[in-house]
Structure 1
Amino acid sequence: MKVRTTVVVASALVLCLAAAGCGPDDGGDKGTGEKATASRTPASGSGATATPEAGSAATPTSNGRTLTEAELAKVALTTGEVEGYEIAPLEGTDERGTEEAGTEACRPIAAIINGSPEPAPAATVFRTAMDTTEEGRDDQTVVTEILTSHPEGGAQELLRSVRAAVGACSGGFGTTSEDGPSTYTEVRTLPVTKAGQESFAYQVTGSLEGVRVPLVFHLVRTGSTVVTFYAANFLGGNAPEVPAALVTAQAAKLP
């Protein structure tokens, strides 16, 4: 697994999503370490496609408008909106990943690893959320948010293409980049926190210097806006969890 030393990585401690070249190396899915960069709040629900939260009467509505970057920034979570989390803009996001999937069917997964979900959004905003109750711990929960707005139909296509890619690439896939080749050994769906009009979660697994590295992604769509949550465990062992509180709070702010 190759991780560039950039402002993005330094500011988020364990993040490499928007820093480019963060795919597992050719060593494959090795290692059995048990310490996890995991949330203490488990995701709720199950299955790949979400309906509204339990107890709600109908699917949330949206005007479907494509938001500008300034409008995305206004609806992004801020510190104080989710108890125990410090939320801030993610620095250094001008540099995106260069991963190219060896199989076209897996391209949507590589695009998200690069920090550049496809189809290309009209506007993008990055945020990072850190669990302040775990300050100073090696396994502190750190979650990246990528908020993207899309022209008509683009948001639905993003979710549709990622679902298809996760199904097609369950046995893993390889990529090439300016940092060299990488191999992802497993892709699988995860239980999902029900939020927005659509929700989908999955895990991509690789290794870092022989240690098993799970990368977890949770996508939520409302109208023409998609929020991609990302968490990783570079210490080896269990997959991290994107806290349900973050997902539902952010989804509630989408117009």
Structure 2
Amino acid sequence: MRVRTTVVAAGALVLCLAAGCGPDGDGGQGTGGDKGPGGKATASASPTTGATPEADPAPVPTSDGRTLTEAGLAKAALATGDLPGWAFAPLPGTDERGTEEPDDRACAPITAIINGSPDPAPAATVFRTATATTTAETGAGGDGTVVTVILTSHRAGGAEELMRSVRDAVRACADGFRTTSEDGPSTYTGVRALPAPKAGQESFAYQVTGSLEGVRIPLVFHLVRTGSTVATFYAAAFSADSAPEVPAALVTAQAARLP
């Protein structure tokens, strides 16, 4: 996968552009939960960090099932001051989406997320970046973790279909897949499910491993659904020695605001 400024890549690949790099993508699988995009090249995150113990399950929230407008999604999105240690801002460049097409149609739901265009197409979408601002969140390396958050609202049944199709694709594409786009071919390998904190009415996380000039680039995606709204968290690490992470506190705080 070449360097591009697609929506879902913006949290990580825009930072990569600033560093003069150009990623290839290969895939990973995920299981329940959500992850956020690691923005800096040295930022890392642990998919299992903050997982809720089985002995202390969180109550399943109720939902009024509304299909939110863009204004409604913006109101539901976390803002600076809502979660200690994190700053939030609109994500620039969201008019440009990826154009990748998989060689195996079973992997299309994963590719759609990578393109920043979940399928089924949402009724409304809002993009945010979440940046860690305290030492407790940035980790030992001292670099601020950056997570891309995508909120989408769906018409009746669409949110459930999105979650189901991504789960099915992760199972079907465990051995990886290839895509083509206007930027050229990309390869994704090792798609696998990941553990994650319980959040919303339904949650799922998976990892896709990419390649950047021969260096493996782990990409982690967490999806959380409540009613007709889905929050997708995306993180990347541009270091072979690190894995992207979306802290549980970020996931659960955003999930709690979904109607």
Where structure 1 has 5 or more consecutive residues not aligned to the other structure, the ranges are: 30-34
Normalising by structure 2, report the TM-score.
0.83
What amino acid is the match of 2:239? L
2:35 equivalent in structure 1 = none
Partner of residue 38 from structure 1, selected from 36, 41, 44: 44
Partner of residue 54 from structure 1, selected from 56, 72, 79: 56
1:68 equivalent in structure 2 = 69
Measure, in 1, the Cα distance between the counterparts of 2:191 and 2:214: 18
1:107 and 2:108 are equivalent in the alignment: yes
Query: Which runs of at least 4 in structure 1 moved beyond 4 Å after TM superposition?
Result: 5-9
Percent identity among equivalent residues?
68
Q: CA deviation at 1:38?
A: 1.8
1:229-240 superposed matches below 5 A: 229-240=233-244
- Pick closer, same or farther for the CA change 1:63–1:8 going to 2, 3 Å: closer
1:24 equivalent in structure 2 = 24
- Pick closer, same or farther for the CA change 1:162–1:121 going to 2, 3 Å: same
1:254 equivalent in structure 2 = 258
Secondary structure at 1:164 match in 2: helix
Q: Is the CA contact (8 Å cut-off) linking 2:218 and 2:236 kept in structure 1?
A: yes
Partner of residue 207 from structure 1, selected from 200, 208, 211: 211
Q: CA-to-partner distance for each residue in 1:33-52, whole Å, 9 max, x for gaps?
A: xx852247914048xxxx9x
Aligned residues: 237
2:36 equivalent in structure 1 = none
Partner of residue 180 from structure 2, selected from 168, 176, 179: 176
Q: Is the CA contact (8 Å cut-off) linking 1:154 and 1:224 kept in structure 2?
A: yes
Measure, in 2, the Cα distance between the counterparts of 1:167 and 1:197: 21
What amino acid is the match of 2:49? P
2:169 equivalent in structure 1 = 165
Relative contact order (alpha carbons < 8 A, sep ≥ 6): 1 or 2 greater?
A: 2
2:89 equivalent in structure 1 = 88
Q: Is the CA contact (8 Å cut-off) linking 2:219 and 2:237 kept in structure 1?
A: yes
What RMSD, in angstroms, separates the aligned Cα atoms of the two structures? 2.9
Measure, in 2, the Cα distance between the counterparts of 1:125 and 1:163: 23
Q: CA-to-partner distance for each residue in 1:210-239, whole Å, 9 max, x for gaps?
A: 111000000000000000000000122232
What amino acid is the match of 2:156? E
Q: Is the CA contact (8 Å cut-off) linking 1:84 and 1:133 kept in structure 2?
A: yes
Q: CA deviation at 1:139?
A: 4.3
Measure, in 2, the Cα distance between the counterparts of 1:244 and 1:252: 12
What amino acid is the match of 2:87? E
What amino acid is the match of 1:221? R
What amino acid is the match of 1:177? S
Secondary structure at 1:185 match in 2: strand
Where structure 2 has 5 or more consecutive residues not aligned to the other structure, the ranges are: 29-40
Q: Is the CA contact (8 Å cut-off) linking 2:5 and 2:93 kept in structure 1?
A: no
Q: Is the CA contact (8 Å cut-off) linking 2:132 and 2:146 kept in structure 1?
A: yes
